[in-house]
Structure 1
Amino acid sequence: MTDLVHLDAIAALRAFRSLELSPVELLDALADRTERVNGDRKTGVNAFTETLFEEARAEAERAASAYLRAARTREPTAPLLGIPVATKEKHALAGRRLEQGLVAHAGRVAEADHPVVERIQRAGGIVHARTTTPEFSCATVTHSAMWGVTRNPWNLDATPGGSSGGAGAALAAGMTTLATASDIAGSTRVPAAFTGTVGYKAPYGRIPGLPPLSADWYRGDGPMGRTVADTALLASVMSGRHPADHTSWGPEGAPIVLPEDPVAALRGVRIGFSPDLGAFPVDPEVESATADVVARLERAGAVVVPVELPWTGEQVVRTIFAHFGQILAPAMVRESGAVAELAPYAQRFIADARRAAERDDLVESLVLDAAMQGELATAMVDVDVLLCPTNAVTALTADGDYLDGIDIGGDHRKHYWEAHLTSPFNVANRCPLLAVPSGTASNGVPTGVQVVGHPHDEQAVFRVGAGIEALVPREPWPDPIG
């Protein structure tokens, strides 16, 4: 068996059960890879806030013994038994630091596990590392004074995205098999697209979060993997009602079933297509990659339907920042101690959100949300899913703050968050979204598309996402140190 560090979780579990591979072998390969490629906080991939390989190895040894026992007794094994999972630092691990990149939280220790960590460990997953984020997960780049700069393994000058940048970078670099993420404006999907991985934003409440901010209806925790099947597996483990989160719903551990022939399953599926959601300028390379996905879907027998959305860039920014000004920005101010100590991107976010809250109160922000939700529902009325690019640009610089906005194809946008076509679907947060790769840009950084489902229709996005994965050729995984 070759390239253990990029072995997908489904294949690893199969090899564990047949005793062709030991969980210890897989973990040791990831530890060696991490030592070789993670590098330093200034120039390396720098995807982990800390590693837990010593404790993880003891867990891997126990998992190996469990597989030996199961081979004799034919007893079933836990769904993630022996699989290494890197968790986003904000997903609390009892007894470990919980700092969220904030200087004011330096040395803070979690008292209990986050619900998704609890479920991963109960399913036999092994938490061997914790991944970097920007400060308070408020940016689509991943750097902070506390943890340094996280870089994209495909191009070290570029960011892996954010806020789950460490998760995407670790998956692409071969330092973990699965990873956890979260998403309030694209924080799972943006890094999935920039790193050639798969990210899932579940419908609001389907995956339990940690109160009180789990009550923020833009938010959601979720899985990332290198394949659609791996991401579906981790989603099924993480999902379902949990007593810690009263917004959580649905059965725990319900499997997401993928078609046996994902290309054949595309026949007759009606896929709405919007190249820009009506609101975003898009780089020509991203346009080309997305058009290639559309052509492949049509050749496979899907019915691609052009969809018009009436959204504008001003509408999207006004809507999301009205919301952030009521909840996220005040939470950041409360948690940060002194705003002046935050990174420039975090200070800018708070200032923008405060101004938005002065313009639009909570009731008006609900009015703005409802308008976008209604427009999306109308646009999707005759299709099974909607397809659009994930990011409007081919890359962001690894250490950029983007305080002056961003130029996209000759169009200057005041806020760099307009470089991503993701936040409208946090406004419409009952919709499931799967981000899958669409190709590779000339700078070596992957591109991606989003598959948007009707509210709560998880099965549809995984069905179409699996088909796209089967149709789109993939580049070999990167080796960031050559």
Structure 2
Amino acid sequence: MTDLHLLDATAALGLFRAKELSPVELMRAVIERHEHVGAPINAYTETMFDEALDAARDAEARYQQGVERPGLLGLPVATKEKHMLAGRSLSQGLTFRRDDVSDVTHPVVERIRRAGGIVHARTTSPEYSCATVTHSPLWGVTRNPWNLDYSPGGSSGGSGAALAAGFTPLATASDIAGSTRVPAAFTGTVGYKAPYGRIPGVRPLSADPYRGDGPMARTIADAALLANVMLGRDPDDHSSIWPDITIPVRADVADLRIALCMRLGDYRVTTEVEQHTYAVARALADAGAVVEDVELPWSSRAIAETAFTHFGHILGPAMEDETAGHEAELAEYTRRFIADARAAAERNRFVDGLRAETRLQSELATAMRGFDALICPTSCTPALAADGDYLDGIDIDGVHLEHYWESHLTLPFNIANRCPVLAVPSGVASTGVPTGVQIVGHPYDDASVFRVGAALEQFRPRGNNHPDIESLR
């Protein structure tokens, strides 16, 4: 079987169950792929290949014996380093934490292992997952398999790069401002920001409604497969919700009404991104959906101010507490994030932030009234430089934005945090880097966003879904 490293997880499970493919064969394929082209991409913080092969042999035996087979049995899964694994590193990219070891395992990793998934590697992120590029003094620069000059995005950039490059069929991610959806856009993969509480987290930031953990994959079905393992109530996280659900995947959108909002107010979107987003809208219309343009009265600067007010009262102080005495060792983008968050909290009280958040949530609800979902671009720009820090802002079509967070359209949906959002590919830009759209649902309506995503995957198939890494080396 050629290109075994690019086999989808759902297809692999079918072959495992039919005894036409061994989990050992698939594990060897993704390991060999990483050994062949992994160095220039730099997507992993560590590998556990020997342990993974042993686990794959155990899974192979279970399939041969016909014993109980949990839902991910034998599948390789790469997990973001911040998703703790007992006995393994928990540095979050910080040089002064390089020797820290976790004594607990994150609930999403526990669930993956309980379902038979095999954690064979852990993926890179920027320090504290607080940038939309992926590089750090500890791990270096992670590059986009589609074009090594560019970033796979952040903060779950290692997961996106590993998926696109064929190092794994499934990966974990996290999202507090777009950290799942931005890498999904830039790597041509699928990322899911679940509604707050759908997937359990770790205290104390499990109580922060902006944040969430979730799946990344190469297909809609695979994203749903991993999401269904990760979601559900956890007794140690009282913000996790019940009853549990199972996300279905169906591609029929003939009875759906979908809102298209290109700029979410005044976000500046490049021509290429706009064209690809319109092509997505046309594909949905051709599939039978009613697609109509809507407007939102949002300002990208006001959204950034709202979010940084939130960060300034929660995440920023938490980061300051954990880095006290080591400020000089932090990456400049981390220091900048902490400073920006502190400044916003000094300008605005927590209740001021709540007023702004609930106003935005109400405006989104009004715009989506009468529609089943909303689509919009994921990022204004089609690429970010792999080693860029954008501390001086970013230029979009000749207009300078003070903060590069204004170049992504993800942040509003961390503010509207009960809305499920599925990030899917929309095309490939002239840079060779993919572009993407977000599918936004009403609060806790996970099924609708997967339904729209599945329709796009079926009715607007892309040509070459995988980067030609050999030509980039």
What is the TM-score normalised by the length of structure 2?
0.98
- Residue deviations 1:103-150 (CA, integer Å, cap 9, x gap): 231210010110000000000000000000000000000000000000
Name the CA distance, whole Å, in 2 between partners of 1:251 and 1:268: 27
Partner residue in 2 for 1:478: 467
The aligned runs of 1:161-172 (5 Å cut-off) are 161-172=153-164
CA shift digits 1:437-474 (9 cap, x unpaired):
00100110000000000000000000001001112232
Residue 222 of structure 1 aligns to a residue in which SS?
strand
1:21-40 matches, cutoff 5 A = 21-39=21-39
What is the aligned-residue identity percentage?
Answer: 62
- What's the counterpart of residue 435 of structure 1? 423
For 1:69 and 1:307, how far apart are their aligned partners in 2?
A: 55
In the alignment, what sits opposite 2:390? 402
Letter in 2 for 1:2: T
Query: Where does residue 269 of structure 1 map in the other structure?
Result: 256
Q: Secondary structure at the match of 2:470?
A: coil
Give runs of aligned pairs for residues 218-237 of structure 1, distance below 5 A. 218-237=210-229
1:59 is matched with: 55
Conserved in 1, the CA contact under 8 Å of 2:170 and 2:216?
A: yes
Task: Choose from 168, 174, 187 the match for 2:166.
Answer: 174
**CA positional deviation for 1:479:** 3.2
When normalised by structure 1's length, the TM-score is: 0.96
1:219-368 alignment, distance < 5 Å: 219-252=211-244, 254-259=245-250, 262=251, 265-337=252-324, 338-368=326-356
Gaps of 5+ in 2: none
Deviations 1:259-317 (A, max 9, x none): 2xx2xx11121000000101310011000000111111111111012111000122111
> Which amino acid is 1:480 matched to?
I
> Shift of the alpha carbon at 1:346?
1.1
Residue 76 of structure 1, CA deviation: 4.2
Tell me, yes or no, if the aligned pair for 1:115 and 1:244 is still in contact at 8 Å. Answer: no
Amino acid at match of 1:346: T
- Count of residue pairs the alignment pairs up: 469
One-letter code of the match for 1:37? V
Does structure 2 retain, via aligned residues, the 8 Å contact 1:104–1:335?
no
State the partner residue of 2:199.
Answer: 207
**In 2, Cα distance between equivalents of 1:30 and 1:144:** 25
1:339 Cα deviation after fit: 2.1
Task: Tell me if 1:415 matches 2:403.
Answer: yes
1:69-111 deviation per Cα after TM superposition (whole angstroms, max 9, x unaligned):
11xxxx5410000000000000000100110001231210010
1:443 partner letter: T
Deviant stretches of 4+, over 3 Å = none
- Where do 5+ consecutive residues of structure 1 fail to align? none
Amino acid aligned to 1:221: D
Q: Equivalents in 1 of 2:246, 2:19: separation in Å?
A: 24
Q: Pick one of 131, 135, 139 that aligns with 2:127.
A: 135
Deviation per CA, 1:137-188, whole angstroms, max 9, x where unpaired?
A: 0000000000000000000000000000000000000001100000000000
